[in-house]
Amino acid sequence: MIEKEQKELTEFIEAWEETDTNIKKAFLQLKSFLEAKEDAIFSFKARPGVSYSLRTACPGQERELFVMADVIDDDPENRWLSVCFYGDMISDPEERGDLIPEGLLGQDGYCFDIDEGEEGLLKYIEARLDEAYQVASS
């Protein structure tokens, strides 16, 4: 991640006040999970009032990313997460995601919306992160 993006991400996280939905905690858990991937490459796109997007890729990957974790900021007092993958990079055995035609950078994707930091859903998404990482890094 370039220095400017890292600074924006750090400032965003520091200014974000947690609510009883634990969305900040959920975002930080997913961010830490991705940071543990040894060759993961991160970028951060801040669009205040719309979204804050943490995008993750692997070296040599054909696509721009393998996952995009958006903090939806249309109501800063009630933020939620949308974690999106290319449709052909993951499975969704419990059908917990929403198929979004051409919804991820113009390609079909699956998005998993998190409106509270429920541990079971986070573990399910972490399994999808592992799947997408395997595809991206191979």
| Residue 2 pLDDT | 86
Range of the domain at 31: 3-137
Alpha-helix runs per DSSP H in the chain: 3-15, 23-35, 119-137
pLDDT tens by residue, 113-122: 999 888 899 9
Number of structural domains (the chain) is 1
117 exposure class (CB count in 10 Å sphere: 0-12, 13-18, 19+): buried
> Residue for token digits 């943490």?
54
The pLDDT, as a whole number, for residue 62 is 86
Here the CATH number for the domain that contains residue 59 is: 3.30.1460
pTM attached to this predicted model: 0.94
DSSP single-letter state for residue 86: E
In three-state secondary structure terms, 51 is strand
Selection from 22, 18, 16 nearest residue 46 by Cα: 16
Q: What is the pLDDT of residues 15-58, one digit of tens each?
A: 999 999 999 999 999 999 999 998 999 999 999 999 999 999 99
pLDDT tens profile 64-116: 899 999 999 999 889 999 999 999 999 999 999 999 998 888 899 999 999 98
